[in-house]
Amino acid sequence: MDGLNLDVKKNSVTGLLGPNGAGKTTCINIICGLVKADDGTARVFDKNCFGAKEEIRKKIGVVPQQIALFGNLTAWENYNYIGSLYNLSKALIHERANYLLERLGLFKHADKRIGRYSGGMKRRANIIASLLHDPELVILDEPTAGVDVQSRALIHDFLQEYHQRNKTILYTSHHLDEAEELCEQVVIIDEGKYILSGSPKELIATTPGTRKLEDVFLHYTGHSVRD
């Protein structure tokens, strides 16, 4: 990070966008209290991210880019274990997991080992794990990477539905069409620095020669390949 100033509005869907190496995952790690910033402050729910990380983690759900589930366990076994980490009762775990499995099209596969799931199924199962404790803020790092069109559409619909429950969503993706569709505001960063922010429509309207968010992104970050 290099002087990044980021403000995510409550009950919004905010896209954090940037090329590879821009600092998106580092930013998420700081918000989650996994990494302590060398300087500056990071606050969630008006609490210091590192100093009050245990309290904050009870209110946030994180969907990492990697599948954060035990492949040799079934979906139910994973959720019972993860729910217990939040001190949820077995009845509440069952109620919430039941609903989420049904909503994300995995109910009939709940007794299969995660290792036998397809890529799209693993992505959806990963999202469920982050929502068992009904978090106020959900942070999703590339939640649709490598999934088929049907899974992506299902995830989109669900996230929009979840947001309607007055939930806040912070979302990173390399699929700029997704961000344009889902996000009320986007923040573009590069090399750890803030570049610009605004609603997708505003950014397209005010950036010369652009017709979609991807054009805006390339206009400000360039066409050079990032490794």
Kindly state the average pLDDT of the residues 187-196.
94
Residue 3 φ then ψ, to 5°: 70, 25
The pTM of this model reads: 0.91
Separation CA 24–CA 31 (nearest Å): 11
Q: Are the CB atoms for 139 and 176 separated by under 8 Å?
A: no
Per residue in 127-185, pLDDT tens? 999 999 999 999 999 999 888 899 999 999 999 999 999 999 999 988 999 999 999 99
**Domains, the chain, ordered by start:** 1-59+135-227 (3.40.50.300), 69-134 (no CATH)
The dihedral built from the CA positions of residue 68, 124, 78 and 72, taken in this order, carries a sign that is negative
Number of neighbouring beta carbons within 10 Å of residue 163? 17
Per residue in 72-129, pLDDT tens? 999 999 999 999 999 999 999 999 999 999 999 999 999 999 999 999 999 999 999 9
